[in-house]
Copies of this chain bind each other. A is one copy, B any other.
Amino acid sequence: MSDAAPMKWWGWGAPDRRLELGAQARAMLADELGTAEPAARVELDAVRLPAARELPDAGARAAGEVRTDHEDRVRHTAGKSYPDLFRARSGEPAGAPDAVLAPESAAQAAAVIDACSSAGVAVVPFGGGTSVVGGVDPVAGPHGALVSLDLAGLRHCEVDRVSMTARLGPGLRGPEAEAALAAHGLTLGHYPQSFEYATIGGFAATRSAGQSSAGYGRFDELVAAVELAAPAGRMATLRTPHTAAGPALRELIVGSEGTLGVITDVAVRVRPAPEVARYEGWVAADFESGAAAVRALAQADRLPDVTRLSDAEETRVSLALSGTSGLKRSLLDSYLRLRRRTGGCMFIVGWEGEPEDVERRRALSSRALRQSGAVRIGSAPGRAWSRGRFEGPYLRDELLDLGYFVETLETSHTWSRYQELYRAVGDALREALAAQGTPGLVWCHLSHAYRDGASLYFTFVAPRKVGAEIEQWRAVKTAACEAIVATGGTITHHHAVGRDHAPYMSAEVGEVGLEALRALKERLDPAGIMNPGKLLPERD
């Protein structure tokens, strides 16, 4: 888990790690989607980058290492969305930084930003590079050069055991942060699917949510204080458990996606490392009754630390795809015994902590689940989920290898409009895929529940529209986003805004809200060098 090997430049995970789809799974995809044309993947040397522009002398070379070699530039061209991956494999990234700067301290990072602000060089903060919304796209805006500010050199960890907090460097990857905390018997408990490569700074900058966030809190809830190096100067929020002193500046920096400055330190709330973790599977008759069961759990304060409800299609497809890898046959077997529930929906629920506490909370959740009509199918599905919890991005690479178009998107809404949003987005995706001439599979799960509503996470797979891959992606993504906006959902529950969702920010926050965000941006980053093109839409 604390593997420090650099990721595949063209995909996810360490170069030697692959999640191979079994013959049965491939046959199922071919049967339901038709055969796709396997996509070529170029060699690293063949990736075409724009010529690196010269950085102003007084500019970005202020501090730290300056790297301009081909591989470094390729690795900082994009994040890990479908268009990012497709372009990388094709050897045609949409742009590249002119240099990669790697400061070794907060002071060096601040010096770089100061110099770039004076020189008019765009700065794209880069943590794990795992954005799936174009959050690290090398957009220079009006500037004549662009640097990627790689934060891997900022990896401190200072624990305050009495207050159960830790100051963490923004460049720590998920497993590195957990390893540093584990040395003190502590955990952060933040496990998004990108955990293996995403960083602390990225979690904060994008309001990350993890698989166990119901138990440990979303990342924005774990942030006790944060420091930002902005072109206008250093901004640090006070290290107290709570304050009523005005608008919460912490909540301005968290979620700012590198557009106001770069996060140089994050003080997080930590917990004792759990002694036990228990995950198990349940089945609901359908997505509506399953969601009602989750609502009952949330509103009775009985939410497990992990709660994931798949819709009928995700349940069916994930069982079919699991085959010889990922989800185990035992999951399928357990489910088949309950096959009288045709179209049933799988839950994964889990509890972590001290054994006695886990058992007590498990009993309370289980009683509520049974009262909602859900049926327990044992711990095998839970163990299978736990083993495969970070495998989604590996599976995506396999699907891309096979020539499929695969992408995910997410939203949330109140319980009273939850099913309406579920239907609207699912319909929009299916219709848009069909309109592209590439009917596909669309499935969904609920993974973050609250007293007042929950998230929806959609995955869709279709044959690649050969020669028009980006247009296909854009048409389908746009249809889904428009359905979300029309139904009053949020444009993002935890993937953030980046470049892909920026056009929808006006619907999200309104024109006056946009003006408030622009006012902040203009004051903290007067030259507009910080992560251009992200978060805020262009002015009309």
Contact = CB atoms under 8 A, between A and B. Distances in A.
Interface stretch (A341-349, A397-405, A432-440, A515-523): A515-523
B450 A242 contact: yes
A454 to B, nearest CB: 7
A415 B505 CA distance: 39
A243 B452 contact: no
A513 interface: yes
B252 A414 contact: no
A209 B244 contact: yes
Given A162-B415, A241-B414, A246 B535 contact: yes
A237 interface: yes
A522 B520 contact: no
Contacts of A164: 299, 415, 451-452
A412 B517 CA distance: 29
Interface string A498-539: 000100010011111101111110111000000000010000
Nearest to A524: B516
A237 B411 CA distance: 15
A248 interface: yes
Contacts of A232: 512, 515
A516 B249 contact: yes
Nearest to A302: B357
B240 A453 contact: yes
Interface string A467-502: 000000000000000000000111111111100010
Contact of A412 (B240, B248, B490, B501): B240
A246 B518 CA distance: 12
B165 A240 contact: no
A245 interface: yes
A234 interface: yes
A281 interface: no
Contact of A247 (B208, B256, B413): B256
Contact of A452 (B241, B254, B415, B516): B241
Given A243-B508, A523-B515, A490 B230 contact: no
B524 A233 contact: no
B246 A256 contact: yes
Stoichiometry, as copies per complex, reads: 2
Given A164-B451, A512-B230, A496 B240 contact: no
Contact of A255 (B247, B454, B509): B247
A452 B494 contact: no
Question: Most B CB atoms within 10 A — which of A218, A256, A513?
Answer: A513
Given A234-B512, A516-B520, A517-B246, A162 B241 contact: no
A243 B491 CA distance: 8
B494 A244 contact: yes
A154 B359 CA distance: 47
Contact of A492 (B209, B245, B415, B496): B245
A247 B520 contact: yes
A243 B492 contact: yes
Interface string A283-323: 00000000000010001010000000000000000000000
A80 interface: no
Contacts of A516: 235, 249, 252, 520, 523-524
Contacts of A224: 452
A66 interface: no
B452 A490 contact: no
Contacts of A254: 247-248
A399 B142 CA distance: 65
Nearest to A450: B241
B241 A453 contact: yes
A160 B451 CA distance: 12
B501 A245 contact: yes
A421 to B, nearest CB: 9
A244 B495 contact: yes
Nearest to A495: B244
B241 A413 contact: yes
Interface in A221-267: 224, 230, 232-249, 251-257, 260
A207 interface: yes
Contact of A416 (B163, B252, B414): B163
A452 to B, nearest CB: 5
A448 interface: yes
Contacts of A299: 164
Contacts of A165: 414, 452
A14 B510 CA distance: 42
Q: Which 7 interchain pairs have the tightest Cβ spacing?
A: A241-B453, A519-B523, A251-B251, A207-B244, A243-B490, A163-B414, A241-B450
13 contacts: A220-B248, A233-B511, A233-B512, A238-B509, A242-B493, A243-B490, A244-B490, A244-B494, A247-B252, A248-B252, A249-B509, A249-B516, A519-B524
Interface of A: 160, 162-165, 206-209, 218, 220, 224, 230, 232-249, 251-257, 260, 269, 271, 295, 299, 301, 357, 411-416, 448, 450-455, 488-497, 501, 505, 508-513, 515-520, 522-524, 535
